[in-house]
Amino acid sequence: MKIKRYIGNTTQEAMRKVKSDLGSDAVILHKRKIKRRGFFNLFKKSLIEIVVAIDENEDLEKKIISNKNNKTRFEQVYKPIQENKNDKYQMNSEIRDLRNSIDDMMKYITKDERKSSLPEPLQTYHNSMIEKGVNEKVAYNILRDVNSRINIQSKNEEAIRKVVECELKEYLGKPKPIELNDNTKTIFFVGPTGVGKTTTIAKIAAQYAFQHKKDVGIISADTYRIAAVEQIKTYCEIMKLPLKIIYQQEDIYESLAAYKYKDVIFVDTAGRSHKDIKQLNEVMNIIEEVNNKEIFLVISSTTDFSTIRSIITTYKKFGDYKIIFTKLDESENPGVILNTKYWTKNPLSYITTGQNVPEDIQIADVTTLINTMIGGQP
């Protein structure tokens, strides 16, 4: 790994030197203001120092992802933070504990035994849901609850479908988009790396700026890679929207002050592994500095169920967040949305279905999702 130090009169000047020398994949390790040397420079403006690193042999991001121990370089260097057993954010939901207990018991029952315990009409829905990516246990538990409350055998096909639709609609809940008020609202987008947060922000920002005629400001805290900054910068230049970049927690104050008359501020946080507790705490510290805010957890619909459960558990500490699912056009398993909602009470909000800005985003349509999972209308 190569580590280098760059100095400029401004952050932009120092960043241009980094990009010119090391390219867009350099990793920013440190940024600070430094005083000029010498007595006569005492009253001059401070310089900006940026320390960066780049792997000379292989792309750093690929190395992190492919690490056999599933640990990032920073996790290998720094001792993992031990979670406080008395952490006030620790998950303590009785409903979730009950679901876990049920799943533990279901381990001793085979898939075929679970399916055969359902009435034949519900077995058809069970099969359809699994084919669309709904976890087998989730599908069974939902349909088992239907069977325990409703006399399925006394109903025709249309009535049974209506019952199943109502049950799924209850689990998916009513989607909640951004809610603005008379004061400046700050919207934070959080989530693992590679899920499409930056593109999602561009889509939503464009809608609010051009369709809803709102005064929009954008802040990027995703300075881990220079390429991430360049992406959001390009979007803002195309849409002619103002952009502020923050490199450390204290920078948020200056950015919010500059945007105090905006209707809405969108904040692109750094994409982090949900296992990187230290880095996630840094993101949470920035969020806690702000009032009148909303948090949106961005998840790719191509993510497997076990990983989503882990993500949900980790982001529980972020509190009352809403969920955005991206890349639905790339997923063969829309049932992952139902899987997620089965394990969290947090509401759905938007889904994205492509790369076009701002077209390929919409508020989640629960009816369409249900029809996709159990087939079209009979």
In terms of Cα–Cα distance, which of 288, 304, 293 is closest to 259?
Answer: 293
Handedness of CA 98, 342, 136, 309 (dihedral sign): negative
Instruction: Among 146, 172, 198, identify where a domain stops.
Output: 172
CATH number where 279 lies: 3.40.50.300
**Complete edge-to-edge strand list for the sheet that includes strand 47-54:** 2-8, 47-54, 27-34
Instruction: Give the other-Cβ count within 10 Å of 316's Cβ.
Output: 17
Residue 65 lies in a domain: no
Residue 72 lies in a domain: no
- Do 50 and 104 lie in a common domain? no
Residue 76 lies in a domain: no
> 360 φ, ψ to 5°?
-85, 55
- Do 350 and 325 lie in a common domain? yes
Distances (CA, A) of 326 to 247, 348, 363: 26, 12, 12
- Do 168 and 209 lie in a common domain? no
Instruction: Among 137, 172, 207, identify where a domain stops.
Output: 172
Question: Domain total for the chain?
Answer: 3
Mode of pairing for the β-strands spanning 243-245 and 216-220: parallel
Give dist(CA 365, CA 331) in Å, integer: 16
pLDDT score, position 274: 52
Each residue of 161-203: pLDDT tens digit?
Answer: 999 999 999 999 999 999 998 899 999 999 888 888 889 999 9
Average pLDDT, the chain: 79
Is 227 a residue whose pLDDT tops 80?
no
Residue 57, Cβ density class (10 Å: 0-12 exposed, 13-18 middle, ≥19 buried): exposed
3-state secondary structure of 343: helix
- Do 347 and 305 lie in a common domain? yes
Each residue of 259-284: pLDDT tens digit?
Answer: 999 999 999 987 655 555 667 777 78
In terms of Cα–Cα distance, which of 71, 67, 1, 58 is closest to 29?
Answer: 1
Instruction: Among 126, 141, 172, identify where a domain stops.
Output: 172
- Do 350 and 224 lie in a common domain? yes
Q: Kindly indicate the confidence band of residue 103, based on its pLDDT and cuts at 50, 70 and 90.
A: low
Is 105 a residue whose pLDDT tops 60?
no
- Do 218 and 302 lie in a common domain? yes
CA dihedral of residues 93, 98, 100, 105 (deg, nearest 10): 170
Q: What is the pTM of this model?
A: 0.69
Q: Kindly indicate the confidence band of residue 357, based on its pLDDT and cuts at 50, 70 and 90.
A: confident
Domain that includes residue 127, residue range: 94-172
Handedness of CA 67, 72, 78, 84 (dihedral sign): negative
Q: How far is CA 61 from the centre of its chain?
A: 18
Each residue of 20-60: pLDDT tens digit?
Answer: 877 776 777 667 777 665 444 445 677 888 877 776 554 43
Residues whose CB falls within 8 Å of the CB of residue 63, separated by 6 or more in sequence, listed in order? 55, 73
Residue 301 lies in a domain: yes
Question: Quick one: average pLDDT of 131-153?
Answer: 90
- Do 153 and 129 lie in a common domain? yes
